[in-house]
Amino acid sequence: MTEKTGTLYGVGVGPGDPELLTLKAVRLIEAADVVAFFAKKDRPGHAFRITGDRISKSAISMRLEYPYTTEIPVDNPKYRAAMANFYDTSAAMIATHLREGRNVAVLCEGDPFLYGSFIYLFDRLEEFTCEVIPGVTAMAGCWAEAAAPMTRGTDVLNIVPGTLDEDQLTSRLTGADAAVIMKVGRNLPKIQRALARAGLADRAVYVERGTQKESKIERLSEKTDEPAPYFSLVLVPGENPSA
Ligand SMILES: C[S@@+](CC[C@H](N)C(=O)[O-])C[C@H]1O[C@@H](n2cnc3c(N)ncnc32)[C@H](O)[C@@H]1O
C-alpha cells in the first residue's frame, strides 16, 4: 500500500497587521506538521513575524534563508544561479516531508501568487497536491491605510515592479489611470524620475511598512532624502470623478 503524501499549502499572511490573517490561514498554520518561511540573513522573516505564536509548538520549523536579497543586482548571473540552487534545495527539503505524509505550510507575506517567492516552490513541486490560501496583498493594506481609493468606473490599474529600468518604468506608467509600484527600496530615485517623466509625480503616495506599527505614509513629492526600505510601495490613485 502506498503511503498518502502530504499537502503543500501556500498560506498568504497579509502585509503585516496580524489581524489581517484570514481564518483559513490561521487554521492551516495551527494545524501544519511543518511550517516553512523565507527569511533574509540575520532577520526573523517577515511572514514568520506576522504569524507570531500561531505556529504549533510541535510543528517542524523550516527557515529558508535567501543567499542574497539586495546585495547584488538581480540580473547578475551569480544571483540567478544562487537563487535557482536555493529554490531547488528548499523544494527538495519540502518534498521529503510531503513524501513522508506531512502537510507543509509555507508562510507568504501578502498573497502567495503576487510576486511571492512561494511561486518558485510551487513551480518545482507540481507533482504534489497544493492549495493556495489567498492573503491580503501589501497594496490593499497600503491603500486602505492611506485612505486612497484607487480605481473608479473604467480606471485601469497598472502594477509595476520598481526593479524595471527607468525607461521601462516610464513607458509602463505613461498613460496609466492608476498604478502601484512595488519593490521600491533602493529603486526609489529611479521611480521618482520615471513618475515625473510620466506626469504622475504629484499624485504619488509613498507607503512604508503599511499596516504595521511603524508604518509611514506621505506624498512622494514631500518625501525627504531618507532611503526607502524594502517594505515600501508607491500608490498612484486614479482620478476618475466620483459617481
Ligand atoms: C516580493 S513582493 C511580495 C508581495 C506580496 N506577495 C503581496 O501580495 O503584496 C515584496 C514587495 O511588496 C511590497 N510590500 C510588502 N509588504 C509591504 C508593506 N507592509 N508595506 C509596503 N509595501 C509592502 C514592497 O513593495 C515589497 O518590496
Confirm whether 2 is domain-assigned.
Answer: no
Does the beta carbon of 215 sit less than 6 angstroms from any atom of ligand 1?
no
pLDDT digits over 85-136, tens only? Answer: 999 999 999 999 999 999 999 999 999 999 999 999 999 999 999 999 999 9
Q: Residue 53: what pLDDT?
A: 86
pLDDT at 180 over 70: yes
Does the beta carbon of 159 sit less than 6 angstroms from any atom of ligand 1?
no
Residues 83 and 187 in one domain: no
Cell of 24: 483559513
Atom of ligand 1 nearest to the CA of 15: 19
Terminal C-alpha separation, the chain = 63
Q: Residue 2: what pLDDT?
A: 54
Residues 147 and 123 in one domain: no
End position of a domain, from candidates 112, 136, 160: 136
Query: Ligand 1 mean position to 185 CA, how many Å?
Result: 11
Place of cell 511561486: 119
Query: Ligand 1 mean position to 6 CA, how many Å?
Result: 29
Residue 3 and residue 25: Cα distance in Å, rounded? 26
**Residue 173 belongs to a domain with what CATH number?**
3.30.950.10
Query: Ligand 1 mean position to 183 CA, how many Å?
Result: 7
Do residues 25 and 136 touch, judged by C-beta distance below 8 A? no
**What's the mean pLDDT in 36-64?**
92
Print the domain residue range for 131. Answer: 8-136
* pLDDT band at residue 74 under the 50/70/90 scheme: confident
Query: Ligand 1 mean position to 210 CA, how many Å?
Result: 9
153: left (phi over 0), alpha (psi -120 to 50) or beta: left
Confirm whether 19 is domain-assigned.
Answer: yes
End position of a domain, from candidates 136, 166, 198: 136
Confirm whether 1 is domain-assigned.
Answer: no
pLDDT digits over 199-233, tens only? Answer: 999 999 999 999 999 999 999 999 987 889 999 99
227: left (phi over 0), alpha (psi -120 to 50) or beta: beta
Confirm whether 3 is domain-assigned.
Answer: no
* pLDDT band at residue 72 under the 50/70/90 scheme: confident
In the chain, the number of structural domains is 2
Residues 121 and 161 in one domain: no
Cell of 7: 499537502
Query: Ligand 1 mean position to 15 CA, how many Å?
Result: 7
Residues 39 and 108 in one domain: yes
Return the C-alpha torsion angle 38, 168, 193, 175, nearest 10.
Answer: -110
Residues 197 and 99 in one domain: no
Radius of gyration of the chain (CA): 19
Residues 165 and 107 in one domain: no
Residues 158 and 109 in one domain: no
Mean pLDDT, the chain, integer: 94
* pLDDT band at residue 52 under the 50/70/90 scheme: confident
Residues 154 and 61 in one domain: no
* 1-5, 124-128, 178-182, 187-191: the lowest-pLDDT one: 1-5
Cβ neighbours for 106, distance < 8 A, ≥ 6 positions apart:
8, 9, 10, 11, 36, 37, 94, 112, 118, 121
Residues 143 and 120 in one domain: no
Cell of 195: 513618475
Q: Residue 1: what pLDDT?
A: 47
pLDDT at 167 over 90: yes
**Residue 58 belongs to a domain with what CATH number?**
3.40.1010.10
Confirm whether 84 is domain-assigned.
Answer: yes
Does the beta carbon of 138 sit less than 6 angstroms from any atom of ligand 1?
yes
Q: Residue 91: what pLDDT?
A: 98
* pLDDT band at residue 65 under the 50/70/90 scheme: very high
Does the beta carbon of 115 sit less than 6 angstroms from any atom of ligand 1?
yes
Residues 18 and 124 in one domain: yes
End position of a domain, from candidates 70, 102, 136: 136
Residues 66 and 122 in one domain: yes
Does the beta carbon of 45 sit less than 6 angstroms from any atom of ligand 1?
no
Tell me the angle at which helices 166-173 and 188-197 cross, rounded to the nearest 10 degrees. Answer: 40
Residues 24 and 125 in one domain: yes
